[in-house]
Amino acid sequence: MKSTRRMGLLLAAAIGWTAVLSGCGTGDKIIIGTQTYSEPKILAQMHKLLIEDRTDLKVDVLPDLASSTVVLQAMKSNDVQMAILYTGMIFDNYFPIEPTKDRASVLKQAKEGFDKHFGMQWLDPYGFENTYAFTVRDDVAKQNNLNAISDVAPTAGNMTLGVDTTWLERQNDGYPAFQKHYGITFGKTLPMEVALVYKAVASKNVDIVLAYSTDPRIKEYSLKSLKDDKQFFPPYDASPVIRKDILAKHPELNEIMNLLTGKIDVNTMIELNYEVDVNKRNERKVAEEYLKKVGLLK
């Protein structure tokens, strides 16, 4: 993990231009901080559009904060007031938790922990999670009737797994723990950068890969993610999070932010990410089109 000083430097660089232009945390403007990838940027643009459509508030999106930890630090210091975060981040030792992989319990602990320790409101999820997912080519899934990870067991000994190097080595939540949890061992493992796994499985260099569940390359390469039917991976449900002092000052935001609750499933998020990452379209435009499609914007 990056040092606190390193995170502070990254944050200072990222927020500098916003502070100069408008002043952070003025109350007349809401700043939504996002991580470096397209998914939270798209969702942040949706919130910006919805808030500005229904209130007189102005909203800025501050992109490319280095990590969820940096985003949280920015929220704590009121340099940003809103963000898109994932329930699984509670496992990163921000506050004491009860270890579990139950989605409802993890969400409950995220809500309670962010309220108690940070004074932040963690809202209900959008309807998807961005977590690890074992993924195969669609033709392989059909040929072997693969829908869930457990379905891989009969053929795993003849399969090559393409996977991030660090996951292979992690004892508690990586490959050794997975083998014990599912009783599955692959014939070969091929370590590689996460960014390369999609092309590797699509080009038949490996048979199965550990990917991310909302990555647009799942659509680009006609891949299928297998259900984690024995719940090995911790849940990472995405939700909007906002400082409670901002909600107290602008209570109308609570209803507006909840407009997206349950509105975005995993396939929808893949499609939205695909439009930005593969078709190279603007995040705001993609967000606007989706909101109009589901009737939240005219």
69: amino acid identity, one letter: T
pTM of the predicted protein model: 0.90
- CATH number for position 196: 3.40.190.120
Residues 90 and 123 in one domain: yes
Residues 221 and 275 in one domain: no
Residues 172 and 279 in one domain: no
Determine, yes or no, domain membership for 271: yes
Q: What is the mean pLDDT of residues 140-163?
A: 96
Determine, yes or no, domain membership for 119: yes
Q: What is the mean pLDDT of residues 11-17?
A: 47
Give the residue, 7 or 116, on which the prediction is more confident: 116
Residues 90 and 71 in one domain: yes
Residues 112 and 254 in one domain: yes
The residue among 90, 84, 87, 59 whose CA lies nearest residue 71 is: 84
Residues 123 and 162 in one domain: no
| Percent share of the chain, pLDDT over 90 | 87
pLDDT at 21: 38
Residues 10 and 98 in one domain: yes
pLDDT at 6: 44
For residue 166, pLDDT beyond 70:
yes
* Overall number of domains in the chain: 2
Structural domain harbouring 155: 132-225
Residues 124 and 241 in one domain: yes
Out of 32-36, 132-136, 167-171, pick the least confident: 167-171
Q: Among 200, 225, 250, where does a domain finish? A: 225
Q: What is the mean pLDDT of residues 65-77?
A: 97
- CATH number for position 58: 3.40.190.10
Residues 85-115 have pLDDT tens digits of 999 999 999 999 999 999 999 999 999 999 9
Pairing mode of beta strands 160-164, 120-122: unpaired
What does the mean pLDDT of the chain come to? 92
pLDDT at 172: 84
Residues 257-280 have pLDDT tens digits of 999 999 999 999 999 999 999 999
Distance CA 132, CA 214 (A): 9
Residues 198-223 have pLDDT tens digits of 999 999 999 999 999 999 999 999 99
Residues 201 and 243 in one domain: no
